A = this chain, B = another copy of it.
């Protein structure tokens, strides 16, 4: 019997984040001020983020050290295992060798905790007392609530009203971690009060919740803002995923031919892929394929344009150069809430344009069918977001059988689906069709 899980000791928790900005063939386009369209400097971000994170956002060093105290907290769940998906391979009857990095093992159930811990710690170091953020479905809010408590910060989460009402368990999880959670629009901010004045029954939106959190943080000396994806420093923190996976694939005696991650804002995809992509940039692994997988209903990479656009829905943030469907784009209500973002991280957009990665889009019915097949082979029920990576894996594994090849596929299982069983119920009851 060979091992199913490829594990690493805690001493192999990465000591540095990998900054792909140092290895890009062309430099990244900088963010612009929304009004003046001039390049945004560190000062413009200071009301919202601590200086240590702003420095990481703009850093050009290849390696950025991870503080010992942060690595200490990572020990709660890292290194995460890489699984060889033998049972899934058998179920698919494929000659492909399929591996998955299991980020769902974190206490909050997803990779989001990786950056939440680093962000909370840096804020704590700089004397911040309290973090404000927004959350839609609740993944990011749960991660930041947990990380804030672990480092000793207060946490304020503006949760989109419709999720607040329909997804009470994520809200309870955040409160269990000691966070304050309010439905957005709330009466706590100007933005919230205006929205409520216009419509007392407003269901809220992610854009509005961002406005509330940003207003909260900008208006209080003791509070900063935290974001769960898109920005350079967030993707940077997630590179511990791919660094661990590289070592684990070495232990398995395999190197991936195809890397696959689902894509919403881009952080779990970048986290897995960027540390391998250095090999493609250097020419050592010219044929390495890296595939970002998005829902057909929100196809920023496969159908969006690369241009300067706002990061949020209402136009408050700096302009970012990214693949976007337009910041007013309203994706159809798919169950993979974490993939419902109009744009893509500037770094992911950049490497897509540079031809270093590919993108694919799938319908949710086929995605859920693959998710159920995975659960029935491997036991773990995947998050609907991660299920997009699983479905792409299925497609490439079956194509390999047709082609008579046996590629090594590594995908990122970014989260479990225990909070998403209502979506599985819809699928199993035949209420999910097409997109």
Residues of A participating in the B interface, judged by any CB pair closer than 8 Å: 1, 3-5, 7, 9-10, 68, 71-72, 75-77, 83, 87, 105-109, 113, 146, 149-150, 168-169, 172-173, 175-178, 372, 375-381, 418-419, 421-422, 424-425, 428
Contacts and interface: CB of A to CB of B under 8 A. Distances in A.
Contact of A1 (B75, B176, B178, B375): B75
B418 A419 contact: yes
B76 A428 contact: no
A376 B172 contact: no
A378 to B, nearest CB: 7
A422 B77 contact: no
A176 B418 contact: no
B177 A375 contact: yes
Contacts of A9: 3, 7
A3 B173 CA distance: 27
Given A107-B381, A418-B419, A375 B176 contact: yes
Given A1-B10, A173-B418, 11 more contacts: A105-B105, A106-B379, A108-B379, A109-B418, A149-B376, A168-B425, A169-B418, A172-B421, A172-B424, A176-B372, A418-B419
Nearest to A371: B176
Contacts of A428: 172, 175-176
Contact of A68 (B1, B113, B380): B1
A381 B173 contact: yes
B425 A172 contact: yes
Contact of A10 (B5, B72, B176): B5
A7 B7 contact: yes
Nearest to A113: B379
20 contacts: A1-B10, A1-B75, A3-B9, A3-B75, A4-B10, A76-B87, A106-B379, A107-B378, A107-B379, A168-B421, A172-B421, A172-B422, A172-B425, A173-B381, A173-B421, A175-B425, A176-B376, A176-B428, A177-B376, A178-B376
A251 to B, nearest CB: 12
A111 to B, nearest CB: 14
B107 A421 contact: no
A380 B142 CA distance: 12
A379 B77 contact: yes
Contact of A379 (B76, B379, B380, B381): B76
A79 B414 CA distance: 22
Nearest to A104: B107
A247 to B, nearest CB: 16
Nearest to A426: B172
